[in-house]
Amino acid sequence: MSENFDVLNRYLFDELHVRGEIVQLKQCFDDIIGVHDYPQAVTQLLGELLAATCLLTATLKFEGEISVQLQGDGPLAFAVINGDHQQQMRGVAQVNGAISGSNLTDMLGKANMVITITPKHGERYQGIVALEGDTLSQCLEHYFETSEQLTTKIWLSVDAERRQASGMLLQVLPDSDDKQQQLTDFEHVSQLTATVKDEELFLLEAEQLLYRLYHQEKVRLFEPQAVSFKCGCSEDKCLAAIMNLSKQEIEDHIEEYMTIDMTCDYCQKTYHFDRQKLQIILNPQTQH
Ligand SMILES: [Zn+2]
């Protein structure tokens, strides 16, 4: 069963102006939650955000990174997932108070969704939209409609307990001038897709799922892409951050604690820097 997990599948309809994606995650979701002790509702939201970010990453037409961040003035200060074109994902949430409800407003209060797209080559783009609507999928659909002018529909399904996160995306293909036909096609495929059940999204392999939903249509399924957890933190990046401190601040800290410890917010890995490791900053002239 495990081989249907942690994959993203793209598909196309031969005779309809619609494209689709399915993502089914387990290990990657589990790795992101990792040792963080999040409330259940936050784990649930991170699962949705993870599935959504995978779907969004797969819409990129170039190499690069995408981050989807929710930030607000509620007890959940922020939740963010970063992904790249290789479907390497990481994410973190910051909980500052007791979470008493499980909808977006209960958790985040007055909030925004910030989508940052960083191409490997080219300009970084950031889109900010107010977090309106009851669900993350509604917010994302609204984002696509306003910023990309692409009619999009997103289904997200998460079982926080079992650490399973799945999602589907449908989008009109901007490949025809017949806007009315595009929308008719989209409406037709949306209705078929809307019959998907959580259990099916969790358990069926992509091929079976497509057959179950669209057996009367001609659907082309592309090669699946693996999705994995990868944190980009490293000793070098921590060292670069320490270099932003003054020499005196570093000396004072080492004096008091013997070491400077930095813990990665995402994966919780701790990097230790003792005087020896900090020589390059403290006594650059002794380095050759
Ligand atoms: Zn890390």
Name the token pair of 228. 């994995």
Distance from the CA of 58 to the center of ligand 1, in angstroms? Answer: 23
- 288 has a pLDDT exceeding 70: no
Distance from the CA of 112 to the center of ligand 1, in angstroms? Answer: 25
Output 81 or 142, whichever has higher pLDDT: 81
- 193 has a pLDDT exceeding 60: yes
Q: Which of 40, 26, 88 is nearest to 266 (CA)?
A: 88
pLDDT at 178: 85
Pair 224, 257: CB distance under 8 Å? no
Distance from the CA of 35 to the center of ligand 1, in angstroms? Answer: 12
Distance from the CA of 240 to the center of ligand 1, in angstroms? Answer: 15
pLDDT at 2: 44
| 233-245 confidence digits (pLDDT tens) | 999 999 999 989 9
Distance from the CA of 231 to the center of ligand 1, in angstroms? Answer: 5
Alpha helices in the chain (DSSP H): 27-33, 40-57, 104-108, 136-143, 179-193, 198-203, 206-214, 235-242, 247-257, 279-282
Distance from the CA of 68 to the center of ligand 1, in angstroms? Answer: 18
pLDDT at 286: 60
User: Which of 132-136, 197-201, 246-250 bottoms out in mean pLDDT, i.e. has the lowest?
Assistant: 132-136
Distance from the CA of 88 to the center of ligand 1, in angstroms? Answer: 13
Output 286 or 225, whichever has higher pLDDT: 225
- The domains located in the chain, with CATH, are 2-229 (3.55.30.10), 235-286 (3.90.1280.10)
Distance from the CA of 207 to the center of ligand 1, in angstroms? Answer: 34
Distance from the CA of 120 to the center of ligand 1, in angstroms? Answer: 21
Distance from the CA of 91 to the center of ligand 1, in angstroms? Answer: 10
User: Which of 28-32, 58-62, 174-178 bottoms out in mean pLDDT, i.e. has the lowest?
Assistant: 174-178
Distance from the CA of 127 to the center of ligand 1, in angstroms? Answer: 25
| 39-52 confidence digits (pLDDT tens) | 999 999 999 999 99
pLDDT at 284: 74
| 202-226 confidence digits (pLDDT tens) | 999 999 999 999 999 999 999 999 9
Distance from the CA of 67 to the center of ligand 1, in angstroms? Answer: 16
pLDDT at 47: 98
Pair 212, 204: CB distance under 8 Å? yes
CB atoms within 5 A of ion ligand 1 belong to 231, 233, 264, 266-267
Distance from the CA of 36 to the center of ligand 1, in angstroms? Answer: 12
Residue with tokens 């002794």: 286
